[in-house]
């Protein structure tokens, strides 16, 4: 925990937004001794990473499957801070399945990084020899600095002569899915970051984690952490405006239910919510530029189909599904054993497809079921007991070429006001890690003049093996 320069009276911070960015900032500051007021318009924490009781199926479901990786040091640090790190299911292997059921495994070996993933890639049935050669060539190229940050991933893949199958089965499915955008709408530096972090730096960095409890339960640990440190949580509270009192050196935040006063303000909202709040903040040099920047951001959807069967469909915890519209299968009966279902509960995720997001409920469910049967024959004999379709139309922001010059820093145009959110300039794409990093960056910026050696940002994992010198 940062060390105070001297004994100072606790100062009050209001954090607007209870998503991952707001929670990470609030918890870091509460631990450092600040009096925190967290304001959330919903009745629970988590933002886009939350769960709820779905009335149509009478089951608690996540609004979308969220995953993290070993390289997500700030998200993992946040989980450790609030005591929920033991509620993550970790795996180092990825199963890829072709229609018809043939499987390939990707994962680490005993070779030093960046060679640790090479043996399983070379033995993967999903890729031809030509695919493997082209992928190895691309991986090697991505170890070098990006030549042109304005280039799209689609153009980069053409220049580096990626085979059609490598593009479809790896770049489009794994990388574009991870970044939740089409190949021509992805800036090369973000693709390179995914490649380096997940596949090259170390086996630990590429380990994949999934919550073993509903997301709202996972983030309930943050609520208790804050309460134990004297923080005030204002749920179901919508912020209407905020004004800066220069003489008193404080913020007055107006909500529909009352007024809050604090010395500092952290606005930890998604970019579209920040856009709505901007006209209700003071006019300041730079505020108009911020508004123009936000207008350039774009949403990409993620859809998930939840299916409950009367029998076991597969014992795999998760899988990548090749050559079809649905991309990922998560076996919630395995990942969340507390459910104790006699059958199977599977969640199917479709990323970066506005076409799929436009389907009607039954159309989407029928398509997902039909495709799933091509990978798991047990589907044909099973009975679907319940089904739900969740469309998160504002799941992520896009990372097209040029996006970095639009991402603002943690500091804002207003005094004693700081910004957080996955869209802030963190160097990461739209992920929970980017959100957690932004919260820690905002906490650092706020505390810089008050706390000695103020560091909330968790260091990145060090590259291992040969990657330490490459």
Q: What is the pTM of this model?
A: 0.95
Give every residue of the chain whose pLDDT is below 50, as ranges. 1-8
Phi, psi of 316 (to 5 degrees): -70, 135
Phi, psi of 334 (to 5 degrees): -90, -45
Rounded CA gap, 5 and 462, in Å?
31
| Residues annotated within a binding site | 21, 239
Could you read off the pLDDT of 258-285 as tens digits, one per residue?
999 999 999 999 999 999 999 999 999 9
* Helix locations, 172-214, DSSP H: 176-179, 188-195, 203-206
Phi, psi of 388 (to 5 degrees): -145, 145
Degrees to nearest 5, angle at CA 195 with 354 and 85: 85
Could you read off the pLDDT of 189-207 as tens digits, one per residue?
999 999 999 999 999 999 9
- The pairing of strands 12-16 and 264-268 is parallel
pLDDT of residue 450: 66
Scanning the structure block, which residue is given the tokens 């992805």? 186
Domains in the chain with CATH codes: 3-54+214-297+400-452 (3.50.50.60), 107-202 (no CATH), 299-397 (3.90.660.10)
| Residues annotated within a binding site for FAD | 21, 239
| SS3 call for 407 | coil
Query: Nearest Cα to 152, choosing from 192, 184, 113?
Result: 184
| SS3 call for 274 | helix
């Amino acid at each position: 925990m940062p060390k105070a320069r001297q004994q100072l009276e606790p100062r009050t911070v209001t954090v607007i937004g209870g998503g991952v960015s707001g929670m990470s900032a609030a918890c870091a500051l509460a631990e450092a001794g600040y009096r925190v007021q967290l304001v959330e318009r919903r009745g629970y924490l988590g933002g886009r990473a939350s769960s709820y009781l779905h009335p149509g199926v009478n089951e608690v479901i996540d609004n979308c499957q969220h995953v993290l990786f070993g390289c997500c040091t700030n998200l993992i640090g946040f989980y450790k801070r609030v005591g929920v790190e033991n509620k993550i299911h970790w795996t180092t292997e990825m199963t890829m399945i072709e229609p018809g059921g043939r499987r390939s495994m990707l994962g680490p070996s005993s070779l030093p990084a960046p060679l640790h993933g090479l043996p399983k890639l070379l033995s993967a049935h999903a890729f031809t020899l030509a695919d493997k050669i082209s992928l190895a060539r691309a991986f090697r190229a991505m170890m070098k600095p990006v030549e042109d940050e304005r280039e799209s991933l689609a153009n980069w893949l053409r220049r580096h002569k990626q085979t059609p199958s490598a593009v479809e089965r790896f770049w489009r499915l794994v990388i574009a899915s991870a970044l939740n955008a089409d190949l021509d709408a992805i800036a090369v530096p973000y693709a390179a970051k995914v490649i380096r972090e997940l596949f090259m730096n170390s086996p630990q960095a590429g380990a994949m984690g999934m919550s073993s409890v509903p997301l709202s339960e996972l983030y309930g640990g943050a609520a208790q952490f804050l309460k134990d440190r004297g923080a005030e949580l204002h749920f179901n509270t919508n912020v209407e405006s905020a004004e800066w009192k220069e003489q008193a050196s404080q913020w007055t935040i107006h909500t529909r239910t009352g007024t809050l006063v604090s010395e500092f303000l952290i606005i930890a909202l998604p970019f579209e919510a920040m856009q709505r709040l901007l006209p209700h903040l003071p006019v300041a040099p730079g505020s108009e530029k911020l508004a123009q920047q936000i207008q350039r951001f774009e949403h990409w959807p993620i859809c998930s189909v939840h299916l409950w069967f009367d029998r076991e469909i597969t014992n795999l915890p998760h899988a990548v599904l090749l050559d079809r519209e649905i991309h990922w299968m998560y076996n919630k009966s395995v990942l969340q054993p507390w459910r104790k279902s006699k059958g199977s509960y599977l969640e199917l995720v479709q990323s970066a497809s506005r076409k799929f997001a436009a389907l009607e409920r039954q159309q989407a469910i029928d398509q997902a079921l039909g495709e799933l049967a091509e990978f798991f024959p047990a589907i044909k004999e099973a009975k679907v007991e319940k089904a739900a379709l969740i469309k998160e139309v504002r799941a992520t922001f896009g990372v097209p070429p040029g996006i970095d010059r639009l991402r603002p820093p943690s500091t804002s145009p207003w005094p004693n006001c700081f910004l957080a959110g996955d869209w802030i300039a963190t160097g990461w794409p739209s992920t929970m890690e980017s959100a957690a990093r932004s919260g820690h960056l905002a906490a650092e910026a706020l505390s810089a003049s008050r706390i000695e050696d103020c560091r909330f940002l968790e260091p990145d994992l060090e590259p291992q093996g040969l990657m330490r010198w490459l």
